[in-house]
Amino acid sequence: MPKPFRRVSATLPRPLRPLVALACACTMLMTGIPAAQAAPQAAPVLPSKDPFYTYTGSTPLSQIAPGTVLKKRKITLVIASLTVPVATEQVLYRTTGEQGQPTVTVTTIIQPLTSLLGTKIVSYQTAYDALGSQCDPSYTLRGGNPGDTDSQVEAAVIALYVTAGYTVTVPDYEGTSLDWAAGQESGDGTLDGIRATENYLAVPTSTPVGMVGYSGGSIATEWASELAPKYAPALDIIGAASGGVPVDLAHNLTYINGDQDWAGVIPAVLVTLSQSFGVNLNRYLSGYGKKITRAVAGECIADFAANYPGLTYQQLLKPQYQNVFSVPVLVRILNKLLMGTTPGHPEEPLLLGVGNADGTGDGIMIAGDVEGLAHEYCTQGVPVTFDVYSGLEHTEAAVPFETDALTFLENLFAGLPASNGCASIGIGNSLAPLPKPGK
């Protein structure tokens, strides 16, 4: 079992409170986009009920190349209940699931009104952390689920990139089955979203692309960085920025176990990992565990993260599974999702950022783990910038990270030399995989 992480008492704001600074930026941003209007009141059709999200072609998906556009449609972009007059399309594309199976998902492509940059693409992975399709960015960007504050704030950040002249693609990287935290699927979905965007725009694979994602979006961004050299080597990825990164889920599970603000993530992660890896979760759950996992199924992270203060994974499991790190199937899954374990490594410059509010991390992500990953990539010759936002918990740290990420990618798109902070990055935490049970 991993060594427990010491928590230092701190008064932290509850997770998922509005990011005030970025929300204000959203208001200011809207004044810079001409002819923004009140959005229509009718909600779009949920992705789970929308036929656009289903492939109906006669050619088997296994015979279609990843990144192939299967359907396309124009949509109206909605931010903060305002329609935004920029060219916005959605495409259904072929990608790959967590177990290697061919599957499909959607990305939303937002093009600037005018740009002097030529076509430069930013793949923005939102932190939608979803078990229900009402959380999908392809839905919230059409005005769905307007009460999801985080999605509205991230939409404002996306619009900042668009007004700067970049074409932004926003993939539903969890897929239509909502495999949240499934790293390889999220990475493949991100890379195939870029391929689909380039195919839709009819631009070459030499088109420069930057990637960015925070929290749940960092899962997709970081894994896309790891997988790209083998899975999508033709893409010209110029840099990737990942913030609030869950490097080692075994460590994160220990860190938030019994937490007042984030413990609700535990049953949700159990649900999604059992789903994406095909595990019968009920075999391991206590009666209470079955009740809680049923309650969170179909929800967005804002609905469950802070709703179970003090919850422990021991409460969710049967007595014989109290030592969760002795369950072979869970150990196998956690080890597979350990970042930095893919053969090879990212080839583009990286920005890795994390808050540190209590001496360990930001309340859910562990600063030493992110530093350990940064150190590992430095030893492999990757230029890495590592930022720690001291005194900031997870939600607060998103604000400086988004600012750093924008500057980081703008400099790379401008052709400036990649910054490299490897000389000042420490060793960080050990990221050794969990030992196999019984050994």
- The mean pLDDT value for 294-320 works out to 96
* CATH number of the domain encompassing residue 172: 3.40.50.1820
- Give the pLDDT band (50/70/90) at residue 15: very low
From residue 196, alpha-carbon distances to 76, 108, 210 in Å are: 20, 10, 15
Q: How far apart are CA 413 and CA 421, in angstroms?
A: 19
Mean pLDDT of the chain: 91
Q: What is the pLDDT of residue 349?
A: 98
- The mean pLDDT value for 290-305 works out to 96
What share of the chain in percent tops pLDDT 70?
90
Two tokens at 37? Answer: 């209007």
Record the pTM: 0.92
Q: What is the pLDDT of residue 426?
A: 98
| Structural domain count of the chain | 1
Answer whether residue 298 is part of any domain.
no
Two tokens at 322? Answer: 């109290």
Q: What is the pLDDT of residue 40?
A: 55
- Give the pLDDT band (50/70/90) at residue 21: very low
The per-residue pLDDT for range 244-285, each reduced to its tens digit, is 999 999 999 999 999 999 999 999 999 999 999 999 999 999
What share of the chain in percent tops pLDDT 90?
84
Answer whether residue 431 is part of any domain.
no
Q: What is the pLDDT of residue 18?
A: 36
Answer whether residue 190 is part of any domain.
yes
Answer whether residue 305 is part of any domain.
no
Answer whether residue 12 is part of any domain.
no
The per-residue pLDDT for range 123-157, each reduced to its tens digit, is 999 999 999 999 999 999 999 999 888 899 999 99
Answer whether residue 318 is part of any domain.
no
The per-residue pLDDT for range 94-105, each reduced to its tens digit, is 999 999 999 999
Q: What is the pLDDT of residue 149?
A: 86
Over 90: is that where the pLDDT of 37 sits?
no
Ramachandran angles phi, psi of 326, nearest 5°:
-110, 5
The per-residue pLDDT for range 208-218, each reduced to its tens digit, is 999 999 999 99
The whole domain housing 34 covers: 20-248+337-424
Answer whether residue 302 is part of any domain.
no
Token pair 């899975």: residue: 231
Answer whether residue 267 is part of any domain.
no
Q: How far apart are CA 8 and CA 345, in angstroms?
A: 34
Q: What is the pLDDT of residue 39?
A: 53
Q: 25-39, 252-266, 319-333, 336-350: which has the minimum mean pLDDT?
A: 25-39
Q: What is the pLDDT of residue 116?
A: 82
Which residue, 246, 244, 242, is CA-closest to 211? 242
Q: What is the pLDDT of residue 344?
A: 85
- 8 Å CB contact between 197 and 164: no
Over 50: is that where the pLDDT of 367 sits?
yes
Over 90: is that where the pLDDT of 33 sits?
no
